[in-house]
Amino acid sequence: MSQATRSACKVNTTCPYCGVGCGVTATMADGVLSAVEGDRDHPANFGRLCVKGSALHETLGHHDRLTTPWVDGQAVDWNVALTTLAERLQATRAAYGAESVAAYLSGQLLTEDYYVANKLFKGFLGTPHLDTNSRLCMASAVAAYKRSLGADAVPCNYEDLEEAELVVLVGSNLAWNHPVLYQRLKVAKTRNPLMRVVVIDPRVTDSCEIADLYLGIAPGSDAVLFNGLLAWMAENNKLDQLYLDRHTESFDEALLAASHHDINDVAAMCDIDPERLETFYYWFASQLHVVTLYSQGVNQSTSGTDKCNAIINCHLAGGKIGLPGAGPFSITGQPNAMGGREVGGLANQLAAHMDYHTSGALDRVTHFWATETLTPELPQAPGYKAIELFDAVERGEIKALWIMATNPAVSLPDAVRVRRALEKCPLVIVSECASHTDLLAYADIILPATGWSEKDGTVTNSERRISRQRGLLPAPGQARHDWWIICETAKRLGFHEAFDYTHPHEIFDEHARLSGFENDGESKRLFDISGLVGLGREGYDALAPIQWPVTCSAPHGTARLFEDGEFATHNGRAKFIAVTPRLPEQRLSDAYPLRLNTGRIRDQWHTMTRTARAPRLMNHRYEPFIELHPNDAANYGIGDQQLAVLSAPSGAYRGRVRISNAQRRGEVFIPMHWSDAFSKSARSGAMLKAITDPISGQPEAKHGAVALAPLKTAWEATLLIAQPLEDNSQQEAPPWCKSDYWARVPMQGCQRWQLADAKPVHNWLALLAKWLPDEASLWCEDSGNGRLRAAAIVQGKLRWWLMVGPPRELPGLAWLEARFNETTISDKHRRRLLAGGEYGAADTGPVVCSCHQVGQAAIVNAIRAGDTSVEALGARLACGTQCGSCLPELKSLIEEERSHARAKQASYTEVA
Ligand SMILES: Nc1nc2c(c(=O)[nH]1)N[C@H]1C(S)=C(S)[C@@H](COP(=O)(O)OP(=O)(O)OC[C@H]3O[C@@H](n4cnc5c(=O)[nH]c(N)nc54)[C@H](O)[C@@H]3O)O[C@H]1N2
Ligand SMILES: Nc1nc2c(c(=O)[nH]1)N[C@H]1C(S)=C(S)[C@@H](COP(=O)(O)OP(=O)(O)OC[C@H]3O[C@@H](n4cnc5c(=O)[nH]c(N)nc54)[C@H](O)[C@@H]3O)O[C@H]1N2
Ligand code: SF4
Ligand SMILES: [Mo]
């Protein structure tokens, strides 16, 4: 190959994971995306990436991708798929009316995809039933901003976090879920020693690493706490009376509702120490530059909207908004949850930040989309929000449902019922990239979509910043862009002219025009990007990150909103909301006595369809788990690392127990990531009731009620098996999936299966012969204690390796993983195969630093050898020196070792 074709080029794009929206610089060489690094000029991250972002290039490749459309289980070409889709949609509408058709979208679509989907369903199919997974995520934050500030508008930006004197994290594990922002905050705190950080979360998280004060509140008690703060500010003369008079309304009502309890009562209701509470109140009230950053611990609640408003109330009361370093900052989860809201992709919105009841909106949008002559006309009122939508599917009212870029069979609460509803629905259409998701089993029509690195368009991050995602690689097989799929369907439905786009820049242009259309005077909307109209293909391709609004008076975008105290309400005043705190609706009982908290882990993204493709991201937490307080573990007679089962009326969850002082007593935490594609029974969505906030419709995903019991096991085993050569999308589940417990862990060149069952196995070798085509070549058995190790080598290649025994007896698996990637196993390695490592090689333990694959055992040994700072550990082992996501965990390991050493010292002193 010539030198010229080898030359690499760098292209800037945006990370497709969290709402931080980091700029990514991709290195392209010979048509291959060979490396990624943080874009140094992107204002969200200035060159940083977290562990997920920096593994993006490891998640590519065509394996396990959908590459062809399917109709009724048959692979078909696009023409057949689209024609069938259009015919069936048309037939459904003709037989049952426009409102029998619905769409369920995702904050992971690009703005252009979202725009055409919204336009097709609401504008041309005339159905209001189009909602999105942002309902599970941002709906409460949106509703609260609208009630109080008059628009769904995040006032702050990332620099405000750096300029604040006090940052309050409420229900946000920023260190794991918005890691680059967390790193920025951490650096700012080092630069400004006066800056304080408060963490409010029932769980001690890695974000507590930088906390000056931690309030481990009772789940669901946030509104009590912030109401208490409002009352305390009033009592202690900490209100900004001038701001209240000039820029707000309804303060008295809000204060009255907040003044029912004194600080001791509030502390008791939140189950925290009153002195710590008062410290927080004092800090908040005495600083002007306060940012309260909140996320799912607040939003995912049946009173989530009120909780957000209780926070906003305190900011308004102190005039802590519209200033550098101040404001109520709802941090966005998905990469484009904000973009979806901009186009109007929620069931209660119409389009472009216009609601159905917004004065003149229906006429304006009808006019803009030129839908005057259509029957039916635009829907006249809001449609079903996510939970209601699936209820309507179950009732048989919705007959055709198109789901794009989300996996409701896993991520919706009461997911078992969702599956029943999908089974009953006559037409389920799924647009998806991955070939193995739980949802695909329910689809009549499957449409293969392009994914990150292939798609072209825009996303908006948490600070209202619009950035380009750029298409770098060709689509695998017949996969197509989501906007193309939607527009081709629209054309086949007869709407050729309105959907005749040739490139996403044309869609973006229309979206920008609509945002500025009749946007003045009485009908002024805050969301206005008319300054980006007419970019053309070149301007669009070169578009640099920019924060909306972008208008002729703010052509370079707007960093901060409401600086003049003028809000987007009808009279320009921000409205205080009177909040009456409510407890979680899912109540504990004798049968279900434990509070279930669900959330995210550092290295995985949602249902793992993308992050599990990078084996190194599986090493931090490789199995579904249940985090449990030591006293609860003792009460239930469950040891650390033992398997256990949680049950709820709607389902069960099996995972490995992690005993942890980070949990409060009576509360358990499980990750939201595992689906049936990765484990036997570990879907958090199956454990939650589908109860929602009456205003936002957001479900209560943080407050389930469950029972706990040990999982009975006669044996546990770990099986490593070479990757099947063929794509296994159509294969049946392997026989060991009949075991009571399994979890699948993709590794480099092999798959790991963790297995357990209650029935004893009397002859393992006979069972293995049934399970696996290749016979065992080596084994050693200790039947006395039920242990076995075995392996199969075929033509010099390692085919599988098995250990019967608890996983804590496993050797470090990196050595074995390397053997699966060898064409021929050497005699020397063959002799060590059952041991699973070189003679005397130390086990490195579970991986803590994913970037450099450094294990816990190695870190603990280094600490014991005298490396008592993260810098020293970094110098010796390189851990924590790349993305920095593991630094909190390194610190807690150092801390743990210190307290072990202290405890040891104390016991020696006692003896002496
Ligand atoms: N690694 C990773 N990062 C992600 C994602 C991912 O899948 N993986 N997903 C992205 C998305 S879509 C989202 S929405 C964000 C979510 O980001 P976060 O909101 O930070 O994520 P969660 O882990 O769901 O929940 C946050 C915290 O809320 C706490 N909590 C539970 N109940 C309460 C309560 O009653 N009060 C308070 N104050 N806290 C409570 C939990 O203990 C948890 O630590 O993360 C984004 N970033
Ligand atoms: N128990 C519990 N449940 C929760 C939560 C919780 O904290 N606890 N959090 C909720 C929240 S905040 C969220 S955001 C949701 C997330 O939940 P989901 O949206 O269901 O999760 P994902 O795995 O991100 O699903 C996205 C799907 O789209 C596919 N995909 C990726 N890119 C594209 C694309 O460009 N086009 C198409 N067509 N497909 C694509 C992916 O392969 C994947 O299957 O989960 C919610 N559910
Ligand atoms: S912080 Fe979020 S946007 Fe940035 S690299 Fe990590 S996952 Fe991507
Ligand atoms: Mo989310």
E strand segments, 544-588: 546-547, 574-575
Q: Please tell me whether the peptide bond between 193 and the residue prior to it is cis, using omega within 30 degrees of 0.
A: no
Calpha distance 66→449 (Å, rounded): 7
Residue 415's beta-bridge partner residues?
none
Q: What local confidence, expressed as pLDDT, does residue 628 receive? A: 97
Rounded to 5 degrees, φ, ψ at 622 are -95, -10
Please tell me whether residue 633 adopts helix, strand or coil conformation: helix
Calpha distance 647→627 (Å, rounded): 15
Q: Is the CB of 451 under 6 A from ligand 2?
A: yes
DSSP code for 123: I
Give residue 555's pLDDT band: very low, low, confident or very high (50, 70, 90). Answer: very high
Q: What is the mean pLDDT of residues 224-243?
A: 98
Distance 181 CA to ligand 3 centre (A): 9
Least confident interval from 65-69, 125-129, 146-150, 871-875: 871-875
Closest to 879 (Cα-Cα) out of 304, 871, 204, 455: 871
Q: Is the CB of 23 under 6 A from ligand 3?
A: no
Summarised one tens digit per residue, pLDDT across range 385-409 is 999 999 999 999 999 999 999 999 9
Residue minimizing CA distance to atom 4 of ligand 3: 22
Distance 18 CA to ligand 1 centre (A): 11
Calpha distance 812→720 (Å, rounded): 13
Position 901 pLDDT exceeds 80:
no
Global pTM value: 0.95
Distance 295 CA to ligand 1 centre (A): 6
Largest pairwise CA distance in the chain: 93
Summarised one tens digit per residue, pLDDT across range 496-544 is 999 999 999 999 999 999 999 999 988 799 999 999 999 999 999 999 9
Distance 606 CA to ligand 2 centre (A): 6
Half-sphere exposure of 353 (CA within 13 A, CB side): 28
Question: Are 314 and 226 a contacting pair, CB within 8 Å?
Answer: yes
Half-sphere exposure of 875 (CA within 13 A, CB side): 8
Q: Burial letters for 535-544: b for 16+ Cβ neighbours within 10 Å, e otherwise?
A: beeeebeebe
Q: Is the CB of 598 under 6 A from ligand 2?
A: yes
Least confident interval from 45-49, 800-804, 905-909: 905-909
Q: Is the CB of 452 under 6 A from ligand 3?
A: no
Domains located in the chain, CATH noted: 3-59 (2.20.25.90), 70-134+336-503 (3.40.50.740), 139-331 (3.40.228.10), 594-710 (2.40.40.20), 715-725+738-831 (no CATH), 847-911 (1.10.10.1100)
Closest to 744 (Cα-Cα) out of 732, 735, 736, 752: 752
The number of the ligand 1 atom at minimal distance from the alpha carbon of 602 is 1
Residue that the structure tokens 């609601």 belong to: 355
Sequence-separated (6 or more) residues with CB below 8 Å from residue 42? 12, 14, 22, 23, 467, 545
Q: Is the CB of 176 under 6 A from ligand 3?
A: no
Question: Are 855 and 848 a contacting pair, CB within 8 Å?
Answer: yes
Summarised one tens digit per residue, pLDDT across range 848-860 is 998 888 988 889 9
Q: Which ligand is nearest to the CA of 701?
A: 2
Residue that the structure tokens 């299966």 belong to: 753
The number of the ligand 1 atom at minimal distance from the alpha carbon of 301 is 35
Provide the residue count of the chain.
912
List Cα–Cα distances, 94 to 89, 90, 154, 868, 881, in angstroms. Answer: 9, 6, 42, 71, 61
With 0-12 / 13-18 / 19 or more C-beta atoms within 10 angstroms meaning exposed / middle / buried, residue 466 is buried
Least confident interval from 100-114, 156-170, 882-896: 882-896
Half-sphere exposure of 22 (CA within 13 A, CB side): 31
E strand segments, 267-382: 290-294, 327-330, 349-351, 354-355
Residue that the structure tokens 């790349």 belong to: 882
pLDDT top residue among 308 and 847: 308
Residue 653's beta-bridge partner residues?
646
- Percent of the chain past pLDDT 70, that is, above it, reads 97
Query: Residue ranges of the alpha helices (H) in 150-198?
Result: 158-163, 174-177, 179-191
Residue minimizing CA distance to atom 26 of ligand 1: 172
Q: Beta strands 546-547 and 465-469: pairing type?
A: antiparallel
Give residue 907's pLDDT band: very low, low, confident or very high (50, 70, 90). Answer: low
Least confident interval from 93-107, 289-303, 369-383, 567-581: 369-383
Give residue 1's pLDDT band: very low, low, confident or very high (50, 70, 90). Answer: very low
Q: Is the CB of 179 under 6 A from ligand 1?
A: no
**Ligand 1 mutation pick, 177, 198, 204, 669, max ligand atoms within 8 A of CB:** 177
Q: What local confidence, expressed as pLDDT, does residue 216 receive? A: 98
Distance 172 CA to ligand 1 centre (A): 5
Give residue 728's pLDDT band: very low, low, confident or very high (50, 70, 90). Answer: very low
The number of the ligand 3 atom at minimal distance from the alpha carbon of 18 is 2
E strand segments, 254-362: 290-294, 327-330, 349-351, 354-355
Q: What local confidence, expressed as pLDDT, does residue 904 receive? A: 66
Please tell me whether residue 13 adopts helix, strand or coil conformation: strand
Please tell me whether residue 428 adopts helix, strand or coil conformation: strand
Q: What local confidence, expressed as pLDDT, does residue 427 receive? A: 98
How many helices and strands (H and E) does the chain possess? 30, 36
pLDDT top residue among 845 and 135: 135
Q: What local confidence, expressed as pLDDT, does residue 109 receive? A: 98
Half-sphere exposure of 70 (CA within 13 A, CB side): 21
Q: Is the CB of 746 under 6 A from ligand 1?
A: no
Q: What is the mean pLDDT of residues 531-558?
A: 97
Calpha distance 165→20 (Å, rounded): 21
Q: Is the CB of 433 under 6 A from ligand 2?
A: yes
Closest to 458 (Cα-Cα) out of 469, 474, 471: 469
- Percent of the chain past pLDDT 90, that is, above it, reads 88
Least confident interval from 184-193, 233-242, 886-895: 886-895
Position 357 pLDDT exceeds 60:
yes
Calpha distance 372→353 (Å, rounded): 21
Distance 174 CA to ligand 1 centre (A): 8
Question: Are 105 and 340 a contacting pair, CB within 8 Å?
Answer: yes
Residue that the structure tokens 């025009």 belong to: 513
Residue minimizing CA distance to atom 13 of ligand 1: 333
Q: Is the CB of 432 under 6 A from ligand 2?
A: yes
Position 583 pLDDT exceeds 80:
yes
Please tell me whether residue 8 adopts helix, strand or coil conformation: strand
Position 808 pLDDT exceeds 80:
yes
Least confident interval from 308-322, 809-823, 845-859: 845-859
Closest to 350 (Cα-Cα) out of 527, 571, 100, 551: 527
List Cα–Cα distances, 747 to 65, 615, 616, 723, in angstroms. Answer: 17, 5, 8, 9
Summarised one tens digit per residue, pLDDT across range 627-672 is 999 999 999 999 999 999 999 999 999 999 999 999 999 999 999 9
Calpha distance 297→909 (Å, rounded): 44
Distance 269 CA to ligand 1 centre (A): 23
Half-sphere exposure of 361 (CA within 13 A, CB side): 22
Rounded to 5 degrees, φ, ψ at 611 are -65, -30
Position 340 pLDDT exceeds 70:
yes
Q: Chain centroid to CA 836: how far?
A: 35
Distance 44 CA to ligand 3 centre (A): 10
Question: Are 661 and 628 a contacting pair, CB within 8 Å?
Answer: no
**Ligand 3 mutation pick, 18, 108, 206, max ligand atoms within 8 A of CB:** 18
Calpha distance 844→265 (Å, rounded): 48
Give residue 162's pLDDT band: very low, low, confident or very high (50, 70, 90). Answer: very high
Position 4 pLDDT exceeds 60:
no
The number of the ligand 2 atom at minimal distance from the alpha carbon of 455 is 35
Distance 347 CA to ligand 3 centre (A): 28
Calpha distance 771→761 (Å, rounded): 13
Q: Is the CB of 333 under 6 A from ligand 1?
A: yes
Half-sphere exposure of 168 (CA within 13 A, CB side): 32
**Ligand 2 mutation pick, 437, 607, 703, max ligand atoms within 8 A of CB:** 607
Residue minimizing CA distance to atom 28 of ligand 2: 405
User: Count of CB atoms within 10 A of residue 505's CB?
Assistant: 21
Q: Is the CB of 21 under 6 A from ligand 1?
A: no
The number of the ligand 1 atom at minimal distance from the alpha carbon of 296 is 19
Summarised one tens digit per residue, pLDDT across range 403-428 is 999 999 999 999 999 999 999 999 99
Distance 79 CA to ligand 1 centre (A): 42
